[in-house]
Structure 1
Amino acid sequence: MATTLVSGAAFGAAMMAAGFHNPAVVIEQFKFENWHMLQAFLAATAASGLICAVAEQVGYVKLQPRSSSPLGLFAKYDGNVIGGALLGVGTALSGSCPGTLYPQLAAGVRTGLYALAGASVGGILWAGVLGKAVKKQRESAGVRPEAGVVNDALGLSRATTLLLLEAACLAVITATTIYTPRNANTVLLGATGGLLVGLAQLVSILTRRSSIGISGAYEEIGHVFWWLVGGADPGARPASHQNLLFASGVAAGAWGLLRAVPALAAVPPVEVPPALAVAGGALMAVGSRMAGGCTCGHGISGISLLSASSVMTIATAFAAGGLVAPLVH
């Protein structure tokens, strides 16, 4: 329990320092007006890739790549594509992602509260109805999740593929930094904030021997809801609350750092209309559960492990968010 809270607090503090408490950071990225979010994301992924590789090399931990989320409708990764699209649309609508809404809450940004409400509804729908429908669809189609890695698809060694990932992240960060003006909505540069998120990944590996991920918290909210509706039978108590504990640590870590460094939230945040934030929260919760992870679990952790399903999910999320954000903001 303590290690889960500690790793969550490290992650929350890192996102607070990176400026993700302000919905403008997410919205401007999807409108291609500022590349702070992508720079932070790529720096965190690159750092996480090195951390995970070293931890596995020395035998400290064995991390499994993210499995696919098939639906049996049109492709091996169709659940990742559909779930990623829902995640991207929800993130673009709400100016939040499953992890960043907690720094928003810590900073008193109302958008985070509305996004959390929507995400909780999404988790309830997933735990009670949608998740069961997806499971039934997989069974009828005769498909099941499979672990696949990018290096196998490319026919390269893991070390070579990881080196290419690091080089690609560095190249994009450099290019976008040169051609993007300083982000007035944040204190730190995007890459600097991303490196701090990478350090939070290190804390998680050292303390929990597992990588970061947060979207499972909304499914756990759903399980708790249906357990209470069903009479709170002790024999039917939800099996795990680890993701909820982690999310609590994220909020606490973000709040603690903001109290210590108030200048991190000196710029007035952009507030998203409540209806958009609630709808976006619900969509991103459902999408992340359908895809088996969110921008944290698939993006920072999954891509760093070269998971093919993570690449499909995040690529689709960014594409969908880029289409929707200019239309609604």
Structure 2
Amino acid sequence: MAESKLKRLVDSPSTPLSVLGFIVAVLCGMVFGMSLEKGKVFLPTVIFSQMLFRQFVMLKMFLCAATSSLITLAFMSGVMPERFESTRRYLIDNDKGFISATVGALILGVGMTLAGSCPGNVIVQLGAGVTNAWIIVVGGLTASVVWGILDKPLVKPMEGRCKPPFRRETVDSYFYKPYWICAMGLAAMCAAVVAVCEYYVPWKDDLPPGVRLDKHSNTPLHPLARAWPPEVAGVLVGVLQWPVRYFFSDGLGSATSYCTITAVPLKAIFGVGKLSERYTDCADQSNWWQVVYLWIGATLGAFLSSYYSGVFNLQDGFHPAMCFFGGFCMLLGSRIAGGCTSGHGISGMAELSLTSLVAVPMMFAGAIATAFILEGANAAPV
């Protein structure tokens, strides 16, 4: 009886965000924002240094978030199989294809290095007081409008001719194995990479300049600590898969929220005829949970975490031109690819989507290549 009452309060894809949904979205966003701030993966220099293999904070947190997501979904597939399968089917059906994912992920990677951020991370940067983060956001919002205009005539026709060159869409269906077996296998591989990185580069030795540990930092989840182990922060992000899928029938993501924000006024001005249908669909009521989760919850979580631990406005952002162009590239790339660092990298990998498993290395390939090119041209921002 209690469960059926709760389900009536839960948001479905066709209903507005309820009061309960709003609260859940804010709380999940606060956990996300606080985790990225405590893990210090939000700092622009950390992201750029990761691409040059000088720091491994980002890799540790990213792989731990993927590991935690895989384990969470493996458990969910056993105790809530119907919700797990319906959500998974919805997300996989939105795959845009192998070529689109490859091209979009490469562009996204270029933007990540130039901006020192990613679509979700930049909102955390706003909350934590990183200068010029707002310029990245403007670049991202601009790109979302450009995608809305170009998607219909240019991008969508390409997708129909470029489906993934796989017999099936997921790892488990490709190998004809149960989801949980494949998920736990991939989780073990990700965890092994993290263990090796931590062994050779302990997290306390890998902190960015300006972060000095305090007495609270010996307690991994202390809210006033200046930094947490990136592994702990990553696990918390991955666990968010459960409430997001249960309450919103969706996966963790960030880039769609930019389109939701810009599509509302442009849909009213231009109508749906001149804009991509997928772009105007972003203004649907079912997508507003992500706006609340990211732009309210994550901002608030990052601000409270950084302010009360004494590290607010810890670091400046990159040059304004790099920030704008980087924000533009990472949003445009994520829309072409059908997912961002969270959408493909955390949720897509957890779905065992073959398209996401192609997009993620392409994303980092674009970011790493850009970082080394800037380094070689003596134009590196760090």
Q: TM-score range by the shorter chain?
A: 0.7 to 0.9
For residues 138-287 of structure 1, the aligned pairs below 5 Å read 138-139=159-160, 141=161, 148-180=169-201, 182-185=205-208, 187-230=227-270, 238-240=283-285, 241-242=287-288, 243-248=290-295, 249-263=297-311, 265=312, 268-287=314-333
Distance 1:137 1:198 in 2: 33
Whether contact under 8 Å (2:99, 2:164) holds in the other structure is no
Partner of 1:211, secondary structure, is: coil
Q: In structure 2, list runs of 5 or more residues that go unmatched.
A: 1-16, 212-226, 273-279, 375-379
Identity score, percent: 26
Provide the rounded CA distance (Å) in 2 between the counterparts of 1:231 and 1:205: 31
Deviations 1:157-205 (A, max 9, x none): 4233212211111111011112225222262222122112123334424
Q: Give me the whole-angstrom Cα distance separating, in 2, the residues matched to 1:206 and 1:151.
A: 22
Question: 2:366 & 2:164 partners in 1: Cα distance?
Answer: 25
Which one-letter code corresponds to 2:284 in the other structure?
Answer: A
Aligned length: 317
In the alignment, structure 1 residue 69 sits paired with structure 2 residue 96: yes
Distance in 2 (alpha carbons) for counterparts of 1:142 and 1:259: 47
Give, as a single letter, the amino acid of the residue that structure 2 aligns with 1:79: S
**Structure 2: how far apart are the matches of 1:106 and 1:116?**
12
What is the TM-score of this pair, normalised by structure 1? 0.87
Give 1:209 deviation, angstroms.
4.4
Query: What is the deviation of 1:251?
Result: 1.5
> 2: distance between equivalents of 1:306 and 1:325?
28
Conserved? CA contact 1:39–1:190, under 8 Å: yes
- Kindly provide the amino acid, as one letter, of the partner of residue 294 in structure 1: C
Alpha-carbon deviation of 1:326? 2.3
Q: Distance in 2 between matches of 1:213 and 1:192?
A: 20
1:318 pairs with one of 364, 377, 380: 364
Which one is further off, 160-169 or 124-133?
A: 124-133
Quote how far apart the aligned CAs of 1:47 are.
0.6
**Deviation of 1:113 (Å):** 1.1
Q: Quick one: structure 1 residues 143 and 189, their matched pair in 2 at CA, closer, same or farther if it must change by over 3 Å?
A: closer
- Which structure 1 segments of 5+ residues have no match? 71-76
Q: Quote how far apart the aligned CAs of 1:143 are.
A: 5.6
Deviation at 1:301, TM superposition (A): 1.1
Give the CA deviation at 1:225.
4.2
Partners of 1:270 and 1:50 in 2: CA distance: 36
Report the alpha carbon displacement of residue 317 of structure 1 after superposing the two structures with TM.
0.3
User: Using the alignment, how far apart are the partners of 1:125 and 1:229 within structure 2?
Assistant: 15
| Gap change, CA 1:225 and 1:110, over 3 Å in 2 | farther
Alignment of 1:288-303 (within 5 A): 288-303=334-349
2: distance between equivalents of 1:259 and 1:156? Answer: 47
1:96 matched residue in structure 2:
117
Structure number with bigger Rg: 2
Relative distance call for 1:142 and 1:322 in structure 2 (3 A) is closer
CA RMSD of aligned residues (A): 2.6
Alpha-carbon distance in structure 2 between the residues aligned to 1:34 and 1:180 = 8
Residues 315/131 of structure 1: CA separation in 2 closer, same or farther (3 Å cut) = farther
Alpha-carbon contact 1:89-1:284 (below 8 Å) kept: yes
1:184-241 alpha-carbon deviations (Å, 9 max, x no partner): 2262222122112123334424543432111101222331342354389xxx994235
Structure 2 Cα separation of the partners of residues 137 and 206 of structure 1: 33
Q: Distance in 2 between matches of 1:218 and 1:18?
A: 24
Normalising by structure 2, report the TM-score.
0.76
> 1:138: how far off?
3.6
Alignment equivalent of 2:157, drawn from 123, 136, 149: 136
SS in 2 for 1:96: coil
1:58 to 47, 62, 79: 79
Q: Partner of 2:149: helix, strand, or coil?
A: helix
